[in-house]
Amino acid sequence: MSTSFERVSRFSVGYATAEVDDFLSRARSAYESKDPSFDGSDVATASFGTERGGYDMRTVDEALDRLSDAFALQARDEAIAREGEAAWIAQLTERAEALKERLERPAGQRFAPASAGEPSYDMADVDALCDQLIAYFTDGLPMSVDDVRRAAFRRRKGPVGYQEAVVDVYLDHVADVMASVP
């Protein structure tokens, strides 16, 4: 993976180039050495400072998505080599079933509501994505991991919305399961 990304103009703000380059160098080293202390979750939770003239954020985010997918496939291949394909499929099915349990909750109750004044995600928007995920997991609705990663929700404040962090972590797990399937 190249660490040379398109930069925004010197008048615009992008990701801090040194931080991105350092992170990708560590990620590449971990991937190549199969370092178990670094995995796709580290990629999914990566965050960078910003600077004028930095790397284009969209381009870096897309590269991180591809890197996360590569870690997921590497983990899948290692699990299959270690335990066999049947065991890997059983584990993946178990993870998908655990994720599906939350989706089967009634709309408006799938995640914890935010506290008063706390920024939150619109419940209807999140529930609509959850309905699509139910169809993906149960009916084979075509859906890509990028559909989950790029999902955007209207912002709300307080208990009229779901807690953002809880939704984000859940969707990271969904994306990880989806990326593990070839």
Would you state the pLDDT for residue 3? 58
E-assigned strands of the chain? Answer: 13-15, 50-52, 119-122, 155-157, 161-163
Tell me the C-alpha distance between 96 and 89, whole Å. Answer: 10
Tell me the C-alpha distance between 179 and 73, whole Å. Answer: 7
Give, for all 182 residues of the chain, the pLDDT tens digit.
Answer: 445 799 999 999 999 999 999 999 999 999 999 888 887 778 888 899 999 999 999 999 889 988 988 888 888 888 889 999 999 889 888 988 899 999 999 999 999 999 999 999 999 999 999 999 999 988 888 999 989 988 999 999 988 999 999 999 899 889 888 888 76
Q: Which amino acid is at 180?
A: S
Would you state the pLDDT for residue 182? 67
Would you state the pLDDT for residue 1? 46
Domains of the chain, residue spans: 13-80, 84-180
Would you state the pLDDT for residue 2? 47
Total-model pTM: 0.72
